[in-house]
Amino acid sequence: MSLSWECSEGEVDYDFSDVEPEGNTSGDTPPQKPTQVADQESREAAPPQPTKFRPRVVDSTQIARRNQFSTGKQDLWVLQRAYRRSIRREEEEKEKKRKAEGEKEERERKKKKKEETEKEAEEDYEEEEEKWAKAH
């Protein structure tokens, strides 16, 4: 059996023809435990496992892409997002102003209504007082 793969050093070939397979291959005898010496030899003959994960190499362009504001470069989506935010802020400010004006008008209306009802009540009281004075 032969295995080969590519790694950073180049192509690596390992030959496993001298390593016996573990377990019961014939089916009639139970598998036997290898001795410590044989186990040590098989470990030495086994190829080193290639690393699955390599540390990420980060260069200055990747850092600049991540931190676009420090380099002054901005992607289109950054500009669009900023534009949408500014529009949203303006709309919120307009809505707040409308709401504040509406509340102010409502207070003025209530105040006028209260003054009118007080005037009417005062006039009614005076009329009732005059009627009572004429009656007595």
Per-residue pLDDT of the chain (136 residues; tens, 9 = 90+): 555 555 555 665 666 666 666 655 555 555 555 555 566 666 666 666 666 666 666 666 666 666 655 555 566 777 888 899 999 999 999 999 999 999 999 999 999 999 999 999 999 999 999 999 888 7
Nearest-angstrom CA–CA distance, 110 and 116: 10
Q: What is the pLDDT of residue 91?
A: 97
The amino acid occupying position 117 is: T
Q: What is the pLDDT of residue 81?
A: 87
Q: Which two tokens stand for residue 19?
A: 């390593």
Q: What is the pLDDT of residue 128?
A: 92
Nearest-angstrom CA–CA distance, 128 and 120: 12
17 in Cβ contact with 1 (< 8 Å): yes
Residue where the block lists tokens 């209306």: 109
Q: Which two tokens stand for residue 80?
A: 């669009």
Q: What is the pLDDT of residue 134?
A: 87
Q: What is the pLDDT of residue 99?
A: 96
Number of residues assigned to the chain: 136
Q: What is the pLDDT of residue 69?
A: 57
